Amino acid sequence: MPLFIRHPAPLALAAACLMFLQATDAEAQRRRSPAAEPTEVTIQNRAGATLQYLYVTPVGEVSWGEDRLGSDTVARNRSHSFTIEAGQCRHDLRAVYESGREETRFGLDLCNRPEVALNGRTQTSNTDLQRQGPVALYVVRNRSGQTLQVLKLVSPGGDESEDVLGSTVVENGQTFTGRFRRTAGCIYDVVATFDGAGDRRIAGRNLCTAREVIFGAEADAPGGQARRGEDRERTTPTTGEPLSFVVQNRGAIPIQYLYIRPRGTNAWGEDRLGSDTIAARGSFQVTMPRRGCDYDVRVRFDNDREEVRNGVNLCETTEFVVNGPAIVAGRGDRKQRPTERAAQPSIAQIVVINEGDRPIESLFISSSKVSSWGDDMLNPEVRIQPGARFTARVERDDQCNYDLRIVYQGGREERRMRQNLCQRQEIAFGGANAFRIDGGGPDNGRRVVFTNNGRGDVREVYLTPVSDTHWGDDRLGSELMPRRFRLELRLPTEAGCRWDLRVVYEGGQSMEKRDQDLCSSPEMAIGRAGRPGQVASTGTGFYINESGHVLTNHHVIDGCSTVAIARPGGQRVPLRLIGADEGADLAVLVQENASTTPLRLRNGAGVNVRGGERVVLVGYPARSQLGGVNVTEGIVSGLRGALGDQSRFQYTAPTQPGNSGGPVLDASGLVVGVVVSQIDKISGERTAQNINFGIKLDLVRQFLAANSVTPAEGEPGQSLPTSDILQNADPSVVPLDCLE
């Protein structure tokens, strides 16, 4: 049929143009104001301590404002939500834990990233202190041996601020990050009140240039004043030519601070490195006024460890060598020049290596702070073949941890969570290196390997020579060490063979092994030991033939020493594992010498689920609370899983922990899938409901055939009431216990 277009009248055309321009202007205004409505922000406490105070303020505000928690606290692994005003997106955050430890984040875009995970480790860095803008930052370090109760700034004109600590105090050894407006001037007296003592005053401090304020022990601070070097330095007449020598760092850890004082004086003075550091195996040229020949030298490393050498003759020294503590490099914040922050690349490159036996057809990389996987980074024409490497470019945000998800051809997938892309350049999937964490160390050092053989994640690992008095850095940095993962370290040979080990698990429990000979035993299992016979987790399974074969999920039986059917009265019937596939998330076991009534897999023309058809779940969710079998029903709401996964389908029947591994039944009671998961880092909607996933029968049949197991099958019949489906399925669906 021909298409005829009638030209509009001039007035109509003008009106249409005006409406278009208004709509375009409205759209532009909408884009300029991403937070046109108040934004709900969620703070997740992933630190190992209770969060006691929380301050979140716009970057342009001069004070931290009110405590967002009020009289509440946030226990570890819990969250807290609040609302920020419309039109304000960029905020600074300060969290204080029950120990007094402070965690800070600056310049967070809470409109686009309304979920913030706190780890208890991030502190105000030298780079943070150098940030530009109307509001400047300074840090107060309490090394007085007492609790800092009140802190005030007094201007040259005598104007005194309110207590800038607000409702918090600063315990000995802790810090406080303060704020002031540059336009009001930089020179202040810093007045502190300590518990059980009078006021202490540091007079005339220029907070624009000397942003680190230290209150040391009162006896070490003549006149109540202190400097960055913790003390006022005595002056000694300068004599002769300047001293010039090289500080050589031959250790594996960068040097952050360097202090040099004439022998016999009390004060260390200013940091000689300024904004520089001395990298591992690096050097630094020092030129300073000559005040005699004998000096004390103090260096502080990247992990806050110190080394002091007294009575060094610098007149006869051309090279001052520092060997450093015998541990691998830490992962703490490093000092940077102000220009280095701007020069830091906003794009990170990561190489994905396929060590599996199937092509990778999908790759997703997203920040660990968000709940959405984002877009597939592989074009439809691109595949990462077995043995091949693929370089992905990731847009960096204000942290380093990212989650990766790959999907193999056929639908199997693997994930690597909380990978530190600031430290790593390669991530392997499918092979032995897929479970390897590189802990660093000198290239020619002794290699040691720690394997997590427990069920829970390892959160922190500390390793130091037996002669050391401190544990040093967490060798995992900001990463977790899941089950089966290996932490590989290279230890300096000069540190010897005897080392102490401390491991902290995700739940906060810890384990120590002292005086370990890592020369004779370079590989060690560090998983959390369970009590034999204790129930580690529960799930659901179901008989699939008359020979006693039970089908369930791989994650239900993963890491179990024994899997058993939990019978009424506490009796357990052990099962023998026949086969398991982590990628498919399927496992098949057998009850020996059993004759069982099975559920039947749907066969015939209607073998595949259809969108909109009714489904029924029978299983054992939340068994410790509900006790017995549970039934729910819904519909098939999608024929693919998350991100187009063709091996899964979506349904609306309510699903809870403990349903995993149970059957998804059709209206006649035949099996059309296996319960596998609820929504997990798929949608940015925090309130998503009834988004659950099952494994399709195509993949189930492939898995069973690969393990030489033949299931019972049946043709679809008439639709049955849910009560009849439950009655028929009850003898065939069994509760499973995973025993340690």
pLDDT in tens, 557-591: 887 888 999 887 778 899 999 998 877 889 999 99
Q: What are the start-end ranges of the E strands in 290-385?
A: 294-301, 306-313, 319-322, 347-354, 360-367
Each residue of 5-60: pLDDT tens digit? 334 444 444 444 444 444 444 444 444 444 457 888 999 888 878 899 999 999 88
Question: Angle at the Cα of 119 (from 113 to 125), degrees rounded to 5?
Answer: 85
Overall average pLDDT of the 687-714 stretch: 86
Measured over the CA atoms of residue 23, residue 26, residue 31 and residue 32, the dihedral's sign is positive
What is residue 20's predicted lDDT score, i.e. its pLDDT? 46
439 sits in which H/E element: none
Of 124-133, 217-226, 452-461, 650-659, give the lowest mean pLDDT range.
217-226
DSSP 716-733: ------HHHHHHHHTTTE
Question: Bigger pLDDT: 341 or 486?
Answer: 486
What is residue 222's predicted lDDT score, i.e. its pLDDT? 39
What is residue 11's predicted lDDT score, i.e. its pLDDT? 43
481 DSSP 8-state letter: B
At residue 275, φ and ψ (nearest 5 deg) are -95, 5
Give the chain's count of helices (H) and strands (E).
7, 45
What is residue 540's predicted lDDT score, i.e. its pLDDT? 93
What is residue 292's predicted lDDT score, i.e. its pLDDT? 82
Please check the confidence at residue 688 and state whether its pLDDT lies above 80: no
Instruction: Report how far apart, in Å, the C-alpha atoms of 637 and of each of 215, 549, 609, 611 are.
Output: 63, 30, 10, 6
Question: Bigger pLDDT: 219 or 146?
Answer: 146
Give pTM, 2 decimals: 0.46
Average pLDDT, rounded, for the chain: 80
Instruction: Report how far apart, in Å, the C-alpha atoms of 206 and of each of 186, 199, 267, 538 are.
Output: 5, 20, 20, 61
What is residue 501's predicted lDDT score, i.e. its pLDDT? 92
Please check the confidence at residue 299 and state whether its pLDDT lies above 60: yes
Strand partners, 58: 91
What is residue 237's predicted lDDT score, i.e. its pLDDT? 40
Start-to-end Cα distance in the chain: 73
Give me 82's structure tokens.
């609040």
Task: Give the pLDDT band (50/70/90) at residue 663.
Answer: very high
Which range, 485-499, 526-540, 663-677, is most confident? 663-677
Question: Bigger pLDDT: 642 or 457?
Answer: 457
Each residue of 244-275: pLDDT tens digit? 888 888 766 788 889 998 887 877 888 888 76
Percent of the chain with pLDDT strictly greater than 90? 22
Give CA–CA dist 557/555, Å, rounded: 6
Strands 389-395 and 446-451: unpaired
Each residue of 385-441: pLDDT tens digit? 988 999 888 876 666 778 888 888 876 777 777 777 776 778 888 876 777 787 777
Question: Bigger pLDDT: 240 or 469?
Answer: 469
Give CA–CA dist 165/163, Å, rounded: 5
Give CA–CA dist 254/231, Å, rounded: 25
Please check the confidence at residue 340 and state whether its pLDDT lies above 70: no
Q: What are the start-end ranges of the E strands in 182-293?
A: 187-194, 199-206, 212-215, 243-249, 255-262, 283-288
Please check the confidence at residue 623 and state whether its pLDDT lies above 60: yes
Q: What are the start-end ranges of the E strands in 122-198?
A: 135-142, 148-154, 175-181, 187-194
Secondary-structure breakdown of the chain: helix, strand, coil percentages, each rounded to the nearest 5 = 10, 40, 50
Of 14-28, 182-196, 289-303, give the lowest mean pLDDT range.
14-28
DSSP 16-32: HHHHHHHHHHHHHHHHH
Task: Give the pLDDT band (50/70/90) at residue 537.
Answer: confident
What is residue 232's predicted lDDT score, i.e. its pLDDT? 36
Residue 562 near residue 577 (C-beta atoms within 8 A): no
Of 45-59, 549-563, 667-681, give the lowest mean pLDDT range.
667-681
Give CA–CA dist 553/584, Å, rounded: 9
What is residue 344's predicted lDDT score, i.e. its pLDDT? 45
Give CA–CA dist 644/361, Å, rounded: 11
Strand partners, 262: 295
Q: Give me the domains of the chain, ranges plus CATH numbers.
A: 39-202+209-218 (no CATH), 243-322 (2.60.40.2890), 338-436 (2.60.40), 439-525 (2.60.40), 535-739 (2.40.10.120)
